[in-house]
Structures are given as structure tokens and as C-alpha cells.
Amino acid sequence: MAEHSQASHVVGGVDTHKDLHVAAVVDHQDRVLGVESFPTTRHGYRLMLAWMRSFGDLQRVGIECSGSYGAGLLRYMQAAGVEVLEVTAPDKHDRRRRGKNDHFDAESAAHAAFAERHTVTPRSRDGMVESLRVLRVCRKTAVQARRIALQMIQTTIVCAPDRLRDPLRQMTRMQLIRTLAAWRPDLTAYREVEEAYRISLKSLARRHLELHDEIADLDGMIEAIVKELAPELLDQTAIGLNSAAQLLLTAGDNPERLKSEASFAALCGVSPVPASSGKTIRHRLNRGGDRAANSAIHIIAIGRLRLDPRTQAYVTKRIAAGNSKLEAIRSLKRYIAREVFGIIMRRQKQINQSQIAA
């Protein structure tokens, strides 16, 4: 009976694309049972799940690119109660031997999910952290567009006729923007060079002001979410809004997938990597993990080094013990990751308990 039950278990793998997902299924001995393509719609997801379950009891599914092309499929599978693993990298030896196409990639994803190699538990994308991510992406692009608008204004002024350029040279940035936005050029005289410059500068200035207001609105929404998710995080020394938001994004809506604070430190790229050989015992800098989270923790460490007496005493002690300042800061970043993980997990526990009580 046990052998029959085990023989009915299957594992799926999906190679994701914009319009079409390619799925594969392997049995309990990692043999390919079938490969099929499905459209990237809710109906397609339903057909894919039914097709996979037609081979037996579906244990888990490995999905490539669950944060982009596979995000919709990830949400559907999780809502259906299916265990999902994110396939992080293809098998290079297998790809070199067999070549590459969508069927091979789907089979490789299924094999990886079966062996649980090159896989991680994906972040769920159905909570406030996902809302925070979307708003931060929108803010980032708005900041970039505002910077480009300002650069275009400055470049246009350099090339403008002297009668326009001379009065604008001595103005501060915001004086310049507001002055240009208040101009009233003759829109019917766009064939004349001076009026064309006036029209262009006014348009760029209004664009800059609109983006400035948009960024302010997004900042208010981001701040509200961060304060609701982890108010204790903002109370810590040198942890600002942007750093707190990035660390919450790295932890995700389901930080319980991180088994310990050591796994969170590795995810942030602040855990030392052993690099010992023979009689030499040493560790090297971790260049992996989420580099945006690593940057946020580094900013916190530098801020504490300037503001916190305990941090200053710790770094002084490490330097006196023979460590360089950079090595002391790396150790400090490891402690900050431990502190942040503890705060996020305590807050997650409180949120879960309040949801259960409700």
C-alpha cells in the first residue's frame, strides 16, 4: 500500500513566458510523464493544474521567474493549496549536453523541484509588502523621470538664446522651476526659435513639478504602510523610511520561510563566507544576496557609527583587537541583520495573531 501511494505522487515544473507557460510532470522516480503548453490566463492556470493532477497526487510545483512572468501562476497555485518552489537556476551541465528549448526548461524545473535543488520558497505576493513593492517601483521611476526632466532643463538653458538664458543663470533650482512653469509663451509662434525654447522649458518645468507632487504622494503611502507593518523598526537608531521599506521587501509577506536569522543575514549578503584552506582559517566578504538590502544595512551601520555611542565603542573594540575598520563594519552589519530579523518576526507574529482573533 505504501509503495502504491508513493507511486501516485508526481511533481510539476513550469517554464514561464509572457503569453504561454510550458509545464512538465515527473513521477516518483523523476521520470518525465508529459509536457504541455498552456495560456497565461486564469483559465489556462486551471487547465494546467487539472492536467498535472491527472497524473497523480501533485506534491509540489517548481516555477521559474515567479516574481515576473510566473507571478500570476504562483498566486493561483498557492490559492489552490499547492506547494510552490521557485527554481533559481537551470542545470548548466544538462543544458550544455541537451541544448535549450521550452520543453527542456520545463523538464529541468520539474527535476529541480523533485530533488529540491536550485530551489527556494518564493515570497508570497498577496499582502501589504507586495503593495509596498509596487509603490516603491513606481516612486523609483518617478524620481528617475524627475531627474531627467531637470537635466533637460539645464541642457536646454545652456543652448537657449542669451535673452532667455541670462536671467535664469542666478536662480536656485526651485526658483528656476517655478519661474519656467509660470511662463506664458505664445503657442502659435512655435516656429520662432525663442518661443520654441519658451514652450519647451515650460513643458519640462511643469513635468518636473507634477513628478515632484507625485513622489510626495507616493512617499506618504509608503510611510503609512511601513508604519503599519513594522513601527518598531522605525524607532531604532539610524533606520530611516527607505531602509526599513527595503528590509521589509527583502523579508516579504511570508518571512517565516526564512528558517533563522542566519538565513536572513545570508539573504541580505551580510553573512561571512568561509574561505579557509589548510592552516589558513579566514572568511571573505559575501558578494551574494539582495544587494539593495545589503545597501540598506550598510547605510544603517554608517548612521549608527556616527550617532550611537554603543556602536562607536564596539567598532573601537574590534579595531583594537586587530580588525580593520571595514571588517568591524561587516561584523556590525551582521548584528544589525539579526536585530532587524527579530523585529520583523515579532511583528509578523502579532499580525498573524490579530488575524486569527478577528
What per-residue confidence (pLDDT) applies to 114? 94
**pLDDT tens-digit profile of 214-264?**
999 999 999 999 999 999 999 999 999 999 999 999 998 888 888 889 999
**pLDDT tens digits, residue range 115-156?**
988 888 888 877 899 999 999 999 999 999 999 999 999 999
**Rg over CA atoms, the chain:** 27
User: Does the pLDDT at position 322 exceed 50?
Assistant: yes
Distance CA 100, CA 91 (A): 11
pLDDT digits (tens, 9 = 90+) for 201-218: 999 999 999 999 999 999
Q: Tell me if 260 sits within 8 A of 253, measured CB to CB.
A: no
Residues 1-22: what's their mean pLDDT? 79
| CATH code of the region 2-120 | 3.30.420.40
From residue 78, alpha-carbon distances to 39, 63, 245 in Å are 18, 12, 25
pLDDT higher than threshold 70 for residue 357: no
**pTM > 0.85: yes or no:** no
Residue 1 has pLDDT above 60, yes or no: no
User: What's the pLDDT score for residue 272?
Assistant: 84
At 4 the pLDDT is: 43
Tell how strand 32-39 and strand 273-274 pair up. unpaired
Reported as a single tens digit per residue, the pLDDT across 287-313 is 888 999 999 999 999 999 999 999 999
For residue 33, which of 10, 63, 6, 67 has the smallest C-alpha distance?
10
Residue range 144-187, pLDDT digits in tens: 999 999 999 999 999 999 999 999 988 999 999 999 999 999 99
- Alpha helices, DSSP H, located in the chain: 2-7, 42-53, 71-79, 92-98, 102-115, 128-159, 162-168, 173-181, 193-229, 231-234, 241-251, 261-267, 291-307, 309-320, 325-357
Confidence category of residue 22, pLDDT binned at 50, 70, 90: very high
The residue ranges of every structural domain in the chain are 2-120, 128-229, 232-357
**Alpha carbon distances (Å) from 87 to 19, 32, 108, 114, 139:** 19, 17, 9, 11, 29
Residue 287 has what pLDDT? Answer: 84
Q: Would you place residue 352 in the very low, low, confident or very high pLDDT band (cuts 50, 70, 90)?
A: confident
From CA 56, how far away is CA 69, in angstroms rounded? 26
pLDDT at 95 over 80: no
pLDDT digits (tens, 9 = 90+) for 35-89: 999 999 999 999 999 999 999 999 999 999 888 899 999 999 999 999 999 998 7
Higher pLDDT, 200 or 283: 200
Q: How does residue 3 score in pLDDT terms, banded at 50, 70 and 90?
A: very low
